[in-house]
Structure 1
Amino acid sequence: MTKAFHTTLLTVGFLLFSLSASAQTPEKVLFIGNSYTYFWNLPHQVAAMAESQKINITTRQSTSGGTSLAQHWRGEKKLQSLQLLREGEYDAVVLQDFSMQALNAPDTLLHYGQQFANEAKAKGARVFLYMTWARAFDPYMQATITSKYEELARMCGATVVPVGPAWERARSLRPDIELYDPDQSHPSPTGTYLTACVFYGVFTGQSPVGLPIRLLSTDHAGEKLYLNIQSKEDALFCQKVAADILGLPFESPEK
């Protein structure tokens, strides 16, 4: 990928991010997606990052493996995404289509993304687009994925969450870092940690640098649940990559 393309991508990404950062942090967020959302409990990790900084973000998800926004819209696989959106009171809705949709069926991505965005806006919710990553074997996929999600963002006035570009940056700086699950498609715990750092930065407008390297939650009995555990080196690297992609400072948030 050329330097000029990187510059254009980051400029567009920063402008979209700035629109989000100027608004209040969403407190209730609905994630609509598939395994790229539920692997390693991404929504819970984002909430845990926020809680560590005394920021309240409550998340809910409607997910099923290998599912597209079209299938969510039609209520396939016993999903009730549209019902949840219409009946719930959410500050924000995150939309994530099937990982290959931008390449194999871009018109479907744009159509159903717009449909869900319209529904979210009718409920007063802001719309965030979870821009996913290229498969490990073909990094050149990212340009098309990025282009289509940015097109959808322009169509429906949504904010892009540039996870794919963050993964691309991380892989270029540290080819050794293992962002992928062994299937070379889904995220590893480190990949999900990086993804959560990007979401945290977009939702809060704050730098993720300095966030905990261990993300905790609790079960119904109040016992600790470890959502993610990263080394200091890998956690700081992910935090800095996310901050860099979003144009945020490399500063630790105030405690």
Structure 2
Amino acid sequence: MKHFLTAFLLLMVCFSGVAQSKSTNILFVGNSLTYTNDLPDMVEKEAKRRGIKVKTTMLAFPNYALVDHLDDGEVQKRIRSGKYDYVIVQQGPSSQEEGREMLFDAGKTLQKLCEQNQSRLVFFMVWPSRTYYHTFDGVIKNHKEAAEENGAILCPVGEIWKANFDKTGDFSLYGLDGFHPSPKGSRLAAEVIVKTLFNE
């Protein structure tokens, strides 16, 4: 009996070690708003700081909308691999009707793929450039509705940016070009993503 209990305890320790070492795998799909400052790497580091193991993969190219990724076909291959717990998708601000339609339509296709391959679809809400700051409410509205329509998780980064801007008048989350994120902006995005996905 004693040997049985010892073996049982050792087995439990082994299983516990396996569970603790499992990483959450995330695929980022987007454009320069994602690869500027290497947001996926920042997400890994922010998660690690909170004691969460995350491994990220990035599929991001300049000026790409989600439809461009779908046209390339690589995103479908990645999702069908079954490797990813979350697929975080991002395109431009999408405040205008054309961008809204692409967000909804591509989201529908991606959501179906994710459902078939045990992944959760996540919309990464971005922001407009400072020049088009007046379109911010449209950006927020379209991302919220696209996520709701497609049964996806929403990381409301843009909404939190706007709240910060409106409260402080500090636009340092933007980089020098007034559109891409500064390192500070990407760090805040990483915090929002980790808090959203892991209920922190």
TM-score class, shorter: 0.7 to 0.9
Question: Which residue, 132, 136, 139 being the options, matches 1:138?
Answer: 132
Instruction: Give the deviation of 1:187 after TM superposition.
Output: 0.3
Instruction: Give the deviation of 1:47 after TM superposition.
Output: 0.8
Runs of 4+ with deviation above 3 angstroms: none
Does residue 70 of structure 2 align to residue 73 of structure 1? yes
Instruction: Give the deviation of 1:90 after TM superposition.
Output: 0.7
Instruction: Give the deviation of 1:176 after TM superposition.
Output: 2.9
Does residue 198 of structure 2 align to residue 201 of structure 1? no
Instruction: Give the deviation of 1:177 after TM superposition.
Output: 4.3
Q: Which runs of 5+ in 2 are unaligned?
A: 1-22
Structure with greater proportional helix content: 2
Which residue matches 1:46? 43
Which residue matches 1:62? 59
Give percent identity, aligned residues only.
26
> Normalising to structure 1: TM-score of the pair?
0.66
Instruction: Give the deviation of 1:151 after TM superposition.
Output: 1.6
Separation in 2, partners of 1:85, 1:126: 10
> Normalising to structure 2: TM-score of the pair?
0.83
Separation in 1, partners of 2:49, 2:93: 34
Which residue matches 2:184? 190
Distance 1:102 1:201, change over 3 A: same
Instruction: Give the deviation of 1:173 after TM superposition.
Output: 2.2
Which residue matches 2:158? 164
In the alignment, is the contact (CA less than 8 A) between 2:172 and 2:185 conserved in 1?
A: yes
- Structure showing greater Rg: 2
C-alpha RMSD over aligned residues: 1.7
Secondary structure class of the residue paired with 1:89: coil
Instruction: Give the deviation of 1:150 after TM superposition.
Output: 1.6
Separation in 1, partners of 2:52, 2:80: 26
Separation in 2, partners of 1:170, 1:101: 21
More divergent stretch after superposition (52-61 vs 79-88): 79-88
In the alignment, is the contact (CA less than 8 A) between 2:31 and 2:90 conserved in 1?
A: yes
Secondary structure class of the residue paired with 2:131: coil
Secondary structure class of the residue paired with 2:118: coil
Q: Per-residue CA shift, 1:147-204, capped at 9, x if unaligned?
A: 1112211221111100111110111222234111111110011111111111111012
Separation in 1, partners of 2:58, 2:35: 8
Separation in 1, partners of 2:88, 2:95: 16
Count of matched residue positions in the alignment of Structure 1 and Structure 2: 178
